[in-house]
Amino acid sequence: MMRFRFTQTAIDTTLARRELLDSGAGGYVSFEGWVRDHNEGQEVTRLEYEAFQELAVKEGERIVAEALRRFPVKHALCIHRVGALDLRDMAVWVGVSSAHRSEAFDACRFIIDEVKHRVPIWKKEHYRSGDSGWVNCERCAAAPSHAQQHGHAHEHGHAHEHGHEHEHDEPAATHS
Amino acid sequence: MQLKIQYYALMREQAGRSEETLDTACATPADLYGELVTRYGFTLTREQLKVAVNSEFSDWSRRLAAGDAIVFIPPVAGG
């Protein structure tokens, strides 16, 4: 059974949780992502999720496998909803069972954070104003991209303040 | 050379289709994106995207082969 999967219908957490049961586990941690009525100053009325499922299930499975390698937990599972969702609906569920709670919290957080950053899933918000927008796509497309801004600054930096710019670069380099 | 291209989310809306087969001389995904920006006026820059070839993340400079399936991946927003 895949440890990352999609569903078109409501996520059944009772069934999902059952897959994590293990007599060596002392408990389990779960995270539920819900549809919220606001985002960045806009009143949200409903959402649509769309995924490139062939790649998304592979990348999601890799994330869960990474979590199981990094943290000494028993089982982990992530289920993501796609299609049309209303306010309060559950968009994503992550569950991790473990002998001890600390690593279950850590693994659960790792999975949801990585899923948000790496898995090809997109979210379209519909607003009370009648407007709608793809999250992370519309606003950044309208403004000059960071890459362009950075490139521009870099050209100037080389001529005038190379040392200064280098200091700024270091924390970013070690961060990854 | 024929390539299959699938579009998702904002790019699907801007292209007005979710997939197509294109006859192109483009050698790499980077070249192909340039051609498609001209055709559809995509607002996302290449720097904002990732690209997948045959359902796996790929380099922008990979040499494309006939029959490859390409997906450009806008900034993601799962969760």
- CB contacts < 8 Å between A and B, how many? 89
Give yes or no: residues A61 and A13 share one domain.
Answer: yes
Residue A92 counted as domain residue: yes
Number of separate domains in chain B: 1
Within 8 A of A52 by CB-CB distance, chain B residues are: 6, 8, 52, 71, 73
C-alpha–C-alpha distance, residues A94 and A22, integer Å: 17
The domain spanning residue A37 has which CATH number?
A: 3.90.1170.40
Question: Greater confidence, B33 or A153?
Answer: B33
Can you tell me the mean pLDDT for A61-84? 98
Min Cα separation B23/chain A (Å): 23
Give yes or no: residues A119 and A156 share one domain.
Answer: no
Instruction: Give the domain extent around A104.
Output: 4-134
What is the model's pLDDT at position A139? 67
What is the model's pLDDT at position A124? 97
Tell whether the model's pLDDT for residue A152 goes beyond 60. no
B76 in Cβ contact with A114 (< 8 Å): no
Judged by CB atoms closer than 8 Å, whether chains meet at B77 and A134 is answered as yes
Judged by CB atoms closer than 8 Å, whether chains meet at B56 and A121 is answered as no
Confidence of residue A156 (pLDDT cuts 50, 70, 90): very low
What is the model's pLDDT at position A174? 36
| 3-class DSSP state of B33 | helix
What is the model's pLDDT at position A140? 54
Give yes or no: residues A108 and A46 share one domain.
Answer: yes
Q: What is the pLDDT of residues A36-53, one digit of tens each?
A: 999 999 999 999 999 999
DSSP character string of chain A: --SEEEESS---HHHHHHTT--TT-SEEEEEEEE--SEETTEEEEEEEEEE-HHHHHHHHHHHHHHHHHHS--SEEEEEEE-EEEETT-EEEEEEEEESSHHHHHHHHHHHHHHHHHHS-EEEEEEETTS-EEETTTHHHHHSPPHHHHHHHHHHHHHHH-HHHHHHHHHHHHHH-
Q: Which of A115, A121, A137 is nearest residue B10 as measured by Cβ atoms?
A: A137
Residue that has been written with the tokens 């050379």 in this structure:
B1
Q: What is the pLDDT of residues A4-46, one digit of tens each?
A: 999 999 999 999 999 999 999 999 999 999 999 999 999 999 9
Q: Which of B10, B78, B79 is nearest residue A138 as measured by Cβ atoms?
A: B10
C-alpha–C-alpha distance, residues A111 and A113, integer Å: 6
Give yes or no: residues A79 and A160 share one domain.
Answer: no
Number of separate domains in chain A: 2
What is the model's pLDDT at position A138? 83
Tell whether the model's pLDDT for residue A151 goes beyond 80. no
Tell whether the model's pLDDT for residue B62 goes beyond 70. yes
ipTM for this model: 0.96
What is the model's pLDDT at position B18? 98
Question: Greater confidence, A162 or A97?
Answer: A97
Q: How far apart are the first and last CA of chain B?
A: 38
Give yes or no: residues A44 and A105 share one domain.
Answer: yes
Give yes or no: residues A69 and A109 share one domain.
Answer: yes
Within 8 A of A51 by CB-CB distance, chain B residues are: 8, 78
Q: What is the pLDDT of residues A99-144, one digit of tens each?
A: 999 999 999 999 999 999 999 999 999 999 999 999 999 865 444 4
**Looking at the complex, does the CB of residue A145 fall below 8 Å from at least one CB of chain B?**
yes
Residue B10 counted as domain residue: yes
Cα atoms found within 13 Å of the Cα of residue B29, Cβ hemisphere only: 24
